Structure 1
Amino acid sequence: MILTIDIGNTVIALGIFKENKLVHVFNLDTDNKRSSDLYLADLVMLFRVHQIDPKLIKEAIISSVVPILTSSFVENVTKLCGIEPLIVGRKTKTGLPLRVDNPSELGADLVAVSVGAINKFKSPIIIVDYGTANKFLYIDNNGALAGAIFTPGLTISYEALVNRTAQLPSVSLEKPNNILGKNTKDCLNSGAVYGNVAMISKLCEMIEKEVGFKCSKILTGGNAKYLKDELKDEFIYEENLIHDGLLTILLKTKGESKNEK
């Protein structure tokens, strides 16, 4: 089995592959103050509940945008599985050409979702990754990451609006039935959901106009679930694209290591 881990700012996503097929996905909350031992206990519990023998995990890979937690998960994977995970970094041979000004600024998660998309879909591609931040990634005709747009995440924007206003209450985020709300909860949710749907559609239209090509459009990320139904005619929803990309990077790296020996 293969373990994939993406340490994000809000969620830590774990995937288990068996014979290169994703069979389990788990999420843990990201907490910079949580100790390595507590995260180890979380992993032990997850494996036990789902009857996964960690010693059967023979390879692991980690992408992380939270450096303070990276070492904790490296240590815990080593303890539980008896293997040292691959960390996606600047020197990792991902096979992804980068046509950007400063490749070192690019997050490991963005590299992984780009690799996952290129492995499954025809270029050019627009990847819309809705997480803590919203990322619009453009993959050109040659399979290179050639530009991006970042916007505040859906939940960040929503929480900022509620926290910076005196009379707007905090309500659960969900898709409303109608675009026009008739109460505060529906008005807030309509702005969060349909406002982001409109932004996605328009930004993708502008990207295609700038690059001069119609693109495959992929929707992914933890907050994409709120938007996917409204975008189903334009986008392919790939819930686990990050895990697909991490698997591809691991297999490529492992294959190149064998060829070098």
Structure 2
Amino acid sequence: MLLAIEQGNTNSLFAVHDGERWLAQWRAATEPNRTADEYAVWLSQLLSMAGLELRMLDACIIASVVPQSLFNLRNLSRRYLNVEPFVIGENAELGIAVRVNKPAEVGADRVVNALGAHVAYPGTLIVVDSGTATTIDVIGADGSFEGGAIAPGIHLSVEALHAAAAKLPRVALKKPSRVVGNDTVSAMQSGVFWGYVSLIEGMIARIKAERSEPMTVVATGGVAALFYDATTAIDHFDPDVTIRGLLEVYRRNADITLMGGSSRLRNKAAE
């Protein structure tokens, strides 16, 4: 069974795939200093609740944008799964072109999203990922990553307003019933929410005008469901874009590994 790990700056996703379907998925707050042993204890308990065991896992793929925690995630795979993990940006071949000036600078989540969206939707795509940052990326019809835009995520904006302005409270993220607020809280909620909807709509319109070709817009990420219901600029809301991309990367690399030798460690001394 495959353990897929997608680690963002705020949250980390752990998921188990048996070769045919996803058996379980769990999210946890990203903690860069969490050790491999701590991950193993936490994961063992969740696996047990799903009727699974750690020893059933015999493959691992990792996409992380938090370099300081990658060491511990890699050791989790080596020590407790006894396999060398595939790591996006290191030893995992994506099989798609990254057509930007500095490909090495593109975050693992963005290139995995490109693949996950490409295998599910035909043609040229715009992928909107709402997380710690909001990324709006262009995926070519051949699956190539062709660049995009990065803006602060909506939760960062809420926190920045509260932190930088003494009289502005911390507000909950919600879709306001009106654009014009009649008190401070409703005004902040409107500015943040509808401001982000307008950002997404505006960026999509500008990208389409610049590209001058039909493009399908796919939204994913933590708060994308709220935006999808608030605008017609998004064609599909798909929460599984990233995890689908991880599975596709694993499948492509597993084929390469089978031809070139197993990725399973012969013993733990290989650590």
Cα distance in 1 for residues equivalent to 2:90 and 2:40: 27
Residues in 2 aligned to 1:53 and 1:231: alpha-carbon distance in whole angstroms: 43
Q: What does residue 23 of structure 1 align with?
A: 23
For 2:2, the aligned partner's letter is I
Match of 2:246 in 1: 246
User: In structure 2, what is the equivalent of residue 80 of structure 1?
Assistant: 80
SS of the residue 1:147 aligns to:
strand
Unaligned ranges ≥5, structure 2: 262-271
Question: In the alignment, residue 8 of structure 1 is paired with which amino acid?
Answer: G
Q: Indicate the residue corresponding to 1:236 in structure 2.
A: 236
Note the alpha carbon deviations across 1:96-145, whole angstroms, 9 max, x for none: 11110011111111111111011111120000011111111101233211
Q: Secondary structure at the match of 1:122?
A: coil
Q: Which residue of structure 1 aligns with residue 118 of structure 2?
A: 118
Separation in 2, partners of 1:44, 1:184 = 46
Q: 1:149 Cα shift? A: 0.4
1:241-261 CA distances to partner (integer Å, 9 max, x unpaired)? Answer: 111000000000111233456
Pairs within 5 Å for 1:1-261? 1-231=1-231, 234-260=234-260
Segments ≥4 residues shifted beyond 4 Å? none
* Larger CA deviation: 192-201 vs 232-241: 232-241
CA deviations 1:8-33 (Å, max 9, x no partner) are 11011111112332232211101223
Q: CA deviation at 1:233?
A: 6.4
- The CA deviation at 1:185 is 2.2
**The residue matched to 1:120 in structure 2 has which SS?**
coil
CA distance in 2, matches of 1:185, 1:71: 42
Counterparts of 1:185 and 1:66 in 2: how far apart (Å)?
Answer: 33
Q: 2:260, 2:73 → 1: CA distance?
A: 28
In structure 2, give the amino acid aligned to 1:248. Answer: E
Kindly tell me: are residues 58 and 104 of structure 1, through their superposed partners in 2, closer, same or farther at Cα, counting changes over 3 Å?
same
Q: Between the two proteins, what is the percent identity of the paired residues?
A: 27
Distance 1:118 1:130 in 2: 18
Deviation at 1:90, TM superposition (A): 4.6
Query: In 2, distance between residues paired with 1:256 and 1:232?
Result: 41
* Distance of 2:231 and 2:41 partners within structure 1: 39
RMSD across aligned positions (CA): 1.8
Flag structure 1 segments of 5+ consecutive residues without an equivalent.
Answer: none
Q: Which amino acid aligns with 1:42?
A: W
Q: Is the 8 A contact 1:55 1:82 kept in 2?
A: no
Q: 1:137 is matched by which residue type in structure 2? A: D
Q: Quick one: distance in 1 between partners of 2:78 and 2:225?
A: 33
Separation in 2 of the partners of 1:260 and 1:194?
Answer: 52
Structure 1 residue matching 2:228: 3-state secondary structure = coil
Q: TM-score when scaled to structure 1?
A: 0.93
